[in-house]
A and B are shown apart, each in its own frame.
Chain A
């Protein structure tokens, strides 16, 4: 039997066994020190080397180059974690291809050896290969042309600023507030003192306000922001942008309470254009709630999630 052919079969069959048999074993959740795809990949490489060297198959240069190139493809496509985006994949494969080319063109002998099957195919010494390649390639080109010409439409991508810069002042219920100067009037005590307190049961002033804020939240806000304040309320799936997730450290945890006061009071229609005010379902809550209720909801949101609001650095503002 032709040695190159045998090498080819062993490589493909080996890959199938490795990929479908071993890879699932090497990708447990979470990954271990031994059971991870990288170890798997090394074993697969070792298998290829051992089979080809051990059986003295000595595949021709073109096949060797093909193996190395495919190993790179396999690694970047299926092994490397996390899965890399398409553009990066192209870049990596370009570098990989250049590396493979350097390897085969290191001296005229290897380069000619690499070329020889290609030349033999072209001039017709490998008859069947020439027929297959020379018919398949034009068909592929025609097919690719068809695919390129076929009109395709994907929904347009829309970028959006999630936390826009707030205005310096805002007017709510007839009163003008300077956002840099106001704080939550109900934040009368250290929030952490009430970590293990119960709404409705704990009758302290602070918890009374938290309870009232929670009451407002569960009458009005949970439809979108969710019973768990994670932005997954009953109506959340219908809206785009999706409602804010307050549990996420990227939302209320990095904002001042005055910013929230402005956002809650003015809602979606109060947003600047870069934040797509036309599709935000957030009501301007000043139309439905009193100023005190808005502050209490904000107090509740921080108490429930355990996040602390960002505060203005008083020292910094002096030096300014």
Chain B
């Protein structure tokens, strides 16, 4: 009797196991009915929703909460049941788990934060059920609503690479991924180097403008699930598409193996930086060190001396010949939301700055940033600026002018470059060699944003080179260390100097105080490293130490000899 029962219970476990193995063997995925709404959780979910979610997603779930018209990635409208990040096929409803993951991890690059740690797991599960109940155009219990798992077939990471940076993926896979990208014309929307600069005319299902993802900013991938460099996320999105957007799925066109390679390529573009777990953004490099350059500084962006990777040098080791190049410093930008015409939807969210200097040629600051499209309207030019305290010598301690164009007591010195691309239209196909830029340099002084005015002294700042290349603006500023201008910043070496950056996206009609800003950073002109002197000193110190050792040996031997000769008596205990 007992034995029989045991056998049966074993069978109970074995049968489904066998079945699932068979299933996995024959068909990779099956249509299953959509996850039903769990009615018992709605009441709890409603409580969470009306405290936490209603502010963006609105009372009815239309995505019309108070915040919505000042957000560029608009809050999701739940009515249509259209959700971007899923494991199901294009057009299908999401699984409960997909929505739970979205609420848990948030959607980086948008206003949707991660809710893990803020509300409990039970609350997340409950609010997901409530959100499903807000869907009006579709029924979760409709027979026609099925879900096809399109992601499980991807299997585990084929290279066994691990986070956070996934640097173990072989270069061949990445190179093949690039070919797959070209063959499937991903560049038509995402641009030649993946900066999302392909198509300025796209709309989402609700008719709102939408931009293709910038692959070089993987920390802004909505579906990154707080694991920004993991190629799985890209492979998943390629398999499922993004509902409600022009992004289709490529399941039929690209094999599983190739989807992984494509994902490896996409992720390889993203600079490896230390990502702040709380904000999902790289940690800014608060000190911009200008490298002292022996010999001539070549004022050409394409010159090898200016080529260095964006990756953090501690994460990815530099090639031998670039080891002593200046670091590319990550500068975070945000909208100017303090004064006047506020900018809630800035288009550039970071800058990369590297710098070199020497006494004869002065300082060179190479400022680079990604912006998908440039303006061709002279009224609203693309522009970028470096801001300095105009009266550095008058500042006491940590004191600085107000970071948005100074204040009444402390003026700023602004070097602004307005850029107009030649032979360019936003709808052009990717152009390998990039676009030349017409540059107008202005030198301005400000005592607050309303008082910004051109200087009347001689122009001193030059833009020596500028280019717009595959969605990346590169501008190289140059100036002598000191000038005659009374309101020019005078730049001393080996001193921490406050510096800030501003950017105007002319394509989106940004002008004047309607701009993107950074906070104050520091820059320093690193002194020339006199290796000869340092080497001599090291040898002298080493030599002195050798002498010291010799003296020690002599002293010890002498003491021993004195013991041996009986001149000095060692204490009597046995040795």
Contacts and interface: CB of A to CB of B under 8 A. Distances in A.
A230 B119 CA distance: 13
Contact of A200 (B54, B334, B546): B54
A198 B539 CA distance: 75
A1 B260 CA distance: 56
B538 interface: yes
Nearest to A269: B402
Nearest to A222: B67
Nearest to B344: A223
A215 B575 contact: no
B519 A279 contact: yes
Contact of B332 (A112, A200, A238, A283): A238
Interface string B375-416: 000000000000000000000001111110001001000000
Given A142-B542, A222-B111, A278 B401 contact: yes
B434 interface: no
B560 A123 contact: yes
A138 B400 contact: no
B279 A236 contact: yes
Interface stretch (B229-237, B283-291, B311-319): B283-291
A232 B277 CA distance: 11
Interface residues of B, number: 75
B454 interface: no
A217 B520 CA distance: 26
Contacts of A233: 111
A154 B287 contact: yes
Contacts, number: 180
A143 B59 contact: no
Interface stretch (B80-88, B439-447, B549-557): B549-557
Nearest to B333: A238
B400 A279 contact: yes
A213 to B, nearest CB: 11
B537 A214 contact: no
B519 A281 contact: yes
Given A122-B553, A156-B522, A218-B65, A142 B538 contact: yes
B121 interface: no
A58 interface: no
B278 interface: yes
A240 interface: yes
Given A230-B118, A278-B399, A238 B518 contact: yes
B54 A228 contact: no
A142 B541 contact: yes
A146 B541 CA distance: 10
Interface residues of A, number: 67
A277 B54 contact: no
Interface in B108-130: 110-113, 115, 118
Nearest to A233: B111
B47 A196 contact: yes
Contacts of B529: 150-151
A31 interface: no
B132 to A, nearest CB: 19
Given A153-B524, A196-B47, A269-B402, A227 B542 contact: no
B47 to A, nearest CB: 7
Contacts of A196: 47
B250 interface: no
Interface in A92-144: 108-109, 112, 116, 119, 122-124, 134, 137-139, 141-144
B526 interface: yes
A239 B332 CA distance: 8
A88 interface: no
B334 A239 contact: yes
A235 B334 contact: yes
A8 B514 CA distance: 69
A119 B281 CA distance: 58
Contact of B113 (A220, A227, A238): A227
Given A123-B553, A151-B527, A279-B519, A227 B111 contact: yes
Interface in B53-106: 54-56, 59, 65-67, 70
A224 B338 CA distance: 11
Interface in A206-244: 214-220, 222-224, 226-228, 230, 232-240
Contacts of B557: 123
Given A230-B118, A279-B519, A218 B67 contact: yes
Contacts of B113: 226-228, 232
B542 A139 contact: yes
B534 A282 contact: no
Given A199-B51, A281-B519, A155 B334 contact: no
B51 A137 contact: no
A134 B549 contact: yes
Contact of A238 (B50, B115, B278, B519): B519
Interface in A272-301: 273, 276-279, 281-283, 287
Contacts of A199: 50-51, 54-55
Contact of A145 (B279, B287, B538, B560): B538
24 contacts: A108-B573, A123-B560, A138-B546, A145-B541, A146-B538, A149-B537, A150-B529, A151-B494, A153-B289, A158-B398, A200-B54, A215-B66, A216-B66, A219-B70, A222-B67, A227-B111, A237-B332, A237-B334, A238-B333, A239-B334, A269-B407, A281-B334, A281-B403, A283-B339
Nearest first, the 5 A-B pairs at minimum CB distance are: A235-B334, A238-B334, A142-B542, A238-B332, A198-B50
Interface of B: 46-47, 50-52, 54-56, 59, 65-67, 70, 110-113, 115, 118, 276, 278-279, 281, 284, 286-287, 289, 332-335, 337-339, 344, 349, 398-403, 407, 410, 494, 496, 517-520, 522, 524, 526-527, 529, 533-535, 537-539, 541-543, 545-546, 549, 552-553, 556-557, 560, 571, 573, 575
